[in-house]
Amino acid sequence: MKYVAAVSSIVAFAASLSACDAGTPAGATPAASASASAPLSASSASEAPAAVDAGPDVDAGDAGIDSDAGDAGDAGADASVEPTCPDDMVRPGRFYCLDRFEGHLVTLGPDGTVTPHPYYEVPETGVTYWARNAKDVFPQAYISRTTAQAACKASGKRLCKREEWMRGCKGNKGWTFPYGNRKKANKCNSGKPHLLQEMFGRDPRKWGYDEAFNSPKLAKEPGYLAESGFFPECQSTEGAFDMVGNLHEWVSDPVGEDIQEILAKDKVERNTQPWREGNGIFMGGFFSTTDQHGPGCLFTTIAHEPKYHDYSTGFRCCKDLPRPPKEKKDKKKKP
């Protein structure tokens, strides 16, 4: 089956939308999208991973979202031990951590040598990737949800749920943007001109999936994609950077039949976009979007299947924290 964008979506794209927010480009095929679906292992970070099938998306369970991060319960059976997040993660909720920066990919050689994957290249099929995040490193573009999920899993993490992601972006103040409720220019990396138009002409029907949407030139163009943390004020109250703009970020939620009801609860005026059940969701917009699919932390794109990728798609991981053990109730014997 070929992905063919609706004419209305293409016209809308030419007027204002990003590559991803226009619907899938003409000429894209499942084979092209699937090239990013690298099978990964879930080995620990200290061991060389074996390439395995990434498998279907896994529901990580109750996210434990709670603005009171101090009341986290205990770790394991010891109620006096407070669980903490790694240094490269922040703690927006009671029972989970969220990457401080957008993710990039690395591979691990047989001798333990860590090699960064070029952020401007589509991840290869059959290669084991590990998710990392760090300041002053370009985040990985051209990544599908399938590959992002597997890379998080290989690193002992997982993709964030949409609720978790939004909580991490809004911070403990519940703001629309990481820095406040009112949009301010140049706080985050967004609203730039559309590179597809500048590099490949103004006719969206001529933008090929591989040749245009996945061209390395788009990510390498100076002044557009930024290194993680380059915009210091694009930071949540807990210290997560670039959750608005720079790159779209995949979340684990699939698009269900109730997606319109879920989005309506956000009370956000947004442009319509084609969707179907089973599509993936990415959040936050990228360097050329504004508020086409919702402002700031509510920006939600639902038009693409999980294997889709282009120059604007990125990711970050979440990680579960231990939950307190359930108290056992003494069963009273009947007289």
What does the pLDDT look like over 291-323, one tens digit per residue?
Answer: 999 999 999 999 999 999 999 999 999 999 998
| CATH number of the domain encompassing residue 203 | 3.90.1580
Q: How many domains does the chain have?
A: 1
Q: Is residue 332 part of a domain?
A: no
Quote the pLDDT of residue 331: 60
pLDDT, averaged across the chain: 81
Q: pLDDT of 28-44, one tens digit each?
A: 543 333 333 333 233 33
Query: Has residue 18 got a pLDDT over 80?
Result: no
Q: Which two tokens stand for residue 186?
A: 């140049």
Angle (CA) 241 244 246, round 5°? 85
Name the β-bridge partners of 283: 249, 300
Quote the pLDDT of residue 134: 98
Q: pLDDT of 140-179, one tens digit each?
A: 999 999 999 999 999 999 999 999 999 999 999 999 999 9
Q: What are the counts of helices (DSSP H) followed by strands (DSSP E) for the chain?
A: 7, 11
Q: pLDDT of 185-206, one tens digit each?
A: 999 999 999 999 999 999 999 9
Q: Is residue 333 part of a domain?
A: no
pTM: 0.78
Residue 92 near residue 297 (C-beta atoms within 8 A): no
Query: Predicted confidence band at 333 (pLDDT cuts at 50, 70, 90)?
Result: low
Full residue range of the structural domain in which residue 101 is found: 1-324
Quote the pLDDT of residue 81: 74
Terminal C-alpha separation, the chain: 68
In angstroms, the CA 300 to CA 177 distance is: 14
Task: Say which residues have a Cβ less than 8 Å from residue 185's Cβ, sequence separation at least 6.
Answer: 191
Q: Is residue 222 part of a domain?
A: yes
Q: Is residue 10 part of a domain?
A: yes
294: left (phi over 0), alpha (psi -120 to 50) or beta: left
Q: Is residue 82 part of a domain?
A: yes
Of 314, 117, 311, nearest to 212 (Cα)? 311
Supply φ then ψ for residue 131, to 5 degrees: -85, 135
Q: Is residue 167 part of a domain?
A: yes
In angstroms, the CA 278 to CA 165 distance is: 19
Q: Is residue 166 part of a domain?
A: yes
